[in-house]
Chains A and B, each alone.
Chain A
Amino acid sequence: MAEIVIDGITYSFDGKPKLLDFILSKDKDVPFFCYHPSMSAPANCRMCMVKVGQYVKNRETGDYELDDQGERQIRWFPKLQTSCNMDMMDDMIVHTHETDDLVKRAHKDTLEMILINHPLDCPICDQAGECPLQIQTYKYGPEGSRFEVKKQHKPKHVQLGPRVTLDAERCINCTRCTRFTDEISQSHQLTITRRGDKNHPTTAPGTEFDDPYSMNTIDLCPVGALTSTDFRFKARVWEMNQTPGLDITNGKGVNVDLWTRDNVVLRITPRHNPHVNEYWMTDKGRDAIHLYNEERLSTPAIRLHPKDISLVMSSWDNAYQTTQEIVESTDPKQILVLGSPYASVEENGAWMQFSEAILKQLPSYTTHIEKGSGDGFLLVDDQAPNTHGCELLGLKKRTKAAFKKAVAEAKVILSLHDDYIERGWLSEEEIKGKTWIYFGTNHTQMAKAATLTIPITCAVEHTASYINVDQRIQRTYPAKETKYTNRRLDLEMSEGRLDRFGTKFDHWVNEDHKVDCKPLWEIVGDLSLLWGHTLSYRHGRDVLDALGSKIPALEGVTYQAMDDQRGLLLTLSETQEASS
């Protein structure tokens, strides 16, 4: 095995790792900007300098050459080297800034150089607080600058595309963004224009940066040059609270971070998961903030008379009792219960148990596949996050025709999540005269057409798991409080600075951002009490445990295991596969 000595410590390694990657993996620090582990390393920011040498060996004998003191002779590279593109070799000696003053000096000078034309408008820069340039300058930068001349001006707030805004003055020309469109999304939409102190990224004239993955460049950009058109100036990074979650806008199950402030999801960024999405996510997935914050169903609502155009606010008790009355006054054969691939495993599981215990039927579901919308990367045909979950639970799958027929024959329908009207599967005409009880999260068209709406928690308000298109089960965490949860008491929720120090008497805390909704398992638990059953689940974990004892594939599947292994790959049985 090959060996390398870094700052006096010997490490052994296999293969040809890049030096920077290796040093970072040893919990040591080397400042860098342009390097990214999943892209090529052009070594153009010159920040990651280290001193590198090699022990001298006698060509004939293969023995180490020794100096007068009997120490091994070292042949140093004539200049400092960039560690990001340096292949490690046996017998290398490396000095980082920790042990070498020249390296320290190189870091200082590189930063002074990079900052020559930098606007330094951190106080109004979106990147401040999570800016590598800011951080590295604090750690390794010079005290001041010797540059006293007017700075070079470059284009500001350039709309590169519908979602990305460029401030060229802040750009340090690391080319991470252009490499992303060349190597990862392969849309080749970005290039660097001009040169010297005038260069910055741009698109070809007459084209715009509308790559379906364009916003990844915002996360990649080591400075505040590329910013989100939507999120710009909305919040300082340190005011937000960061909670891991899942992208539920399609079946890929991309891992994300949800950034909330005062219970509003302000932005969504990808979370690294080598098994699913690497470092990336779709632009569409970031749009889910609107789904989580806006047009939310809050407090049950009821249509008092079939002819009424809108629903009126009701209460939870009233909603439960109305549900009971409706169900009890209807022939069970005329009741249709619909599960949903948009809801989690736990929700569908609890729903199924409720339906089987009280309504004596297995819920059915329909898939939402749009053929041709997948691209082999993170966009997939399956529009719903948990189609495999429904399959695994054994819900009855219906084709569009079978579904329409079932709806036509039913008098009372209890449905979850899906907006069949928006999807064009049902017209409002077709559900006229039916009693539709809708358990959903948003004011969808389905909610507007329903008789009774019962608001349930969405993916950012509860802990629940989803099975993606590759049959990997992963879970969410609550990021947003509801009217009934409290971050200080719920140890699963994290607290941001404002969450911790704000009170409802401050102007920055707004109770209105908490939605009056409950997890579905709690709702069906409360409902089942009316029939004398006790399906009491307080937490998604309770449902998952219960399911684990019934479904072999879910045996031993726990949140802990999902967390430890970045999701668990399930093996769905043959029959379930075939039906997908």
Chain B
Amino acid sequence: MSQKSSDNGASLSQNGTSAYKFTKEQLAEIEVLKTKYPEVQAVTLPVLWMAQDTFGHVDPEVQRLVAQTLDLPESHVHGVAEFYTQYFKEPKGKHVLDVCTCLSCHLCGGMDILGYLENKLGIKAGETTPDGQFTLQEAECLGACGYAPMMQITNDVYVNHLTPEKVDRVLDQLASGQTPDFESIPMPLVSTTSNNKAAGGSDE
């Protein structure tokens, strides 16, 4: 009874053939994935990741490929892709900068960092630089409130305690093909205990 009219999808190629294809190896991997979950619907997430890693994004046509590969309704894959901001529903720059502007970061100057990046890159949040290097986005809380303000780079590395200087350094590193340094940040709890110790020591 499913009577889907997909013929009016201007952005989609006709007769169901997609410009995007999974390789044989990927298809085999998908088959393995399917055995790991009780229902095939659950495989949508890893396959979307696989697609994004391969094609750089999961635009409607990629979503369609995923749906067809898993034999799921297109609407389901679309809903899942739209739900998670980490899936890119359109082609993005090489590096995607997710600047957190949620409460804690906002209070610690997240907006200023966003503004600084906008000026520096000459684009607004949500846009991509003309050379395709950087996409700038506002993000909701990324769970690193303790190190606010912060940003995440292309769904991967977190850069914390942002300052304009640090932003400059990170952009340079990214432009020259390096990943920003990993910073180990001590948990606040740890430093409190050591302070207490120090205080205890002076008591002696």
Contact = CB atoms under 8 A, between A and B. Distances in A.
Interface of A: 178, 181, 185-195, 202-208, 210-212, 375-377
12 contacts: A181-B75, A185-B1, A188-B2, A188-B73, A191-B76, A192-B79, A204-B64, A204-B75, A210-B3, A210-B4, A210-B5, A212-B1
Interface string B161-181: 000000000000000000000
Interface in B66-109: 67, 73-79, 82-83
A208 B8 contact: yes
A207 B4 contact: yes
B74 A207 contact: yes
Nearest to B7: A206
Contacts of B196: none
Interface stretch (B9-17, B110-118, B130-138, B144-152): B9-17
A61 B10 CA distance: 71
Contact of A187 (B2, B6, B67): B2
Given A187-B2, A210-B3, A205 B79 contact: no
Contacts of B8: 206-208
A212 B1 CA distance: 9
Nearest to A195: B83
The dominant DSSP class at the A interface is: loop
B142 to A, nearest CB: 15
Interface of B: 1-6, 8-12, 60, 63-64, 67, 73-79, 82-83
Nearest to B12: A206
Given A181-B75, A193-B82, A207-B4, 6 more contacts: A188-B75, A189-B75, A191-B76, A202-B78, A204-B63, A206-B64
Contacts of A376: 1
Most buried by B among A189, A207, A211, A212: A207
Contacts of A187: 1-4
B79 A207 contact: no
Contacts of B75: 178, 181, 188-191, 202-204, 207
Contacts of A192: 79
A191 B60 CA distance: 14
B50 to A, nearest CB: 19
Contacts of A377: 1
B78 A193 contact: yes
A58 B82 CA distance: 51
A195 B8 CA distance: 26
Nearest to A203: B75
Most buried by A among B3, B4, B75: B75
A181 B2 CA distance: 10
Nearest to A198: B82
A187 B2 CA distance: 4
B77 A206 contact: no
Most buried by A among B11, B74, B76: B74
Nearest to A205: B60
Contact of B5 (A186, A188, A207): A207
B2 A205 contact: no
Given A192-B79, A205-B78, A212 B3 contact: yes
A191 B78 contact: yes
B48 to A, nearest CB: 14
A186 B63 CA distance: 20
Given A193-B78, A193-B79, A208 B5 contact: yes
Contacts of A191: 73, 75-76, 78-79
Contacts of A190: 75
A205 B1 contact: no
Contact of A186 (B1, B76, B79): B1
B86 to A, nearest CB: 12
A154 to B, nearest CB: 13
Contacts of A206: 6, 8-12, 60, 64
A375 B33 CA distance: 35
A410 to B, nearest CB: 42
Contacts of B3: 187, 210-212
A205 B79 CA distance: 10
Contacts of B73: 188-189, 191, 204
Contacts of B78: 191, 193, 202, 204-205
A204 B2 contact: no
Q: A-B pairs with the 6 shortest C-beta distances?
A: A206-B9, A191-B79, A188-B73, A204-B74, A205-B60, A191-B75
Given A204-B78, A205-B60, A207-B4, A194 B83 contact: yes
A187 B73 CA distance: 9
A193 B4 CA distance: 18
Contacts of A203: 75
Most buried by B among A178, A188, A190: A188
Given A191-B76, A207-B74, A375 B11 contact: no
B45 to A, nearest CB: 15
Nearest to A189: B75
Nearest to A194: B82
Contacts of B1: 185-187, 212, 375-377
Contacts of B6: 206-207
Contacts of A208: 5, 8
A298 B82 CA distance: 55
Contacts of A375: 1
Contacts of B74: 204, 207
Most buried by B among A192, A204, A376, A377: A204
A185 B3 CA distance: 10
Nearest to B6: A207
A26 to B, nearest CB: 37
Nearest to B78: A204
Contacts of A210: 3-5
Given A188-B73, A191-B76, A192-B79, A205 B9 contact: yes
Contacts of B76: 188, 191
B9 A207 contact: yes
B5 A205 contact: no
A203 B78 CA distance: 8
B84 to A, nearest CB: 8
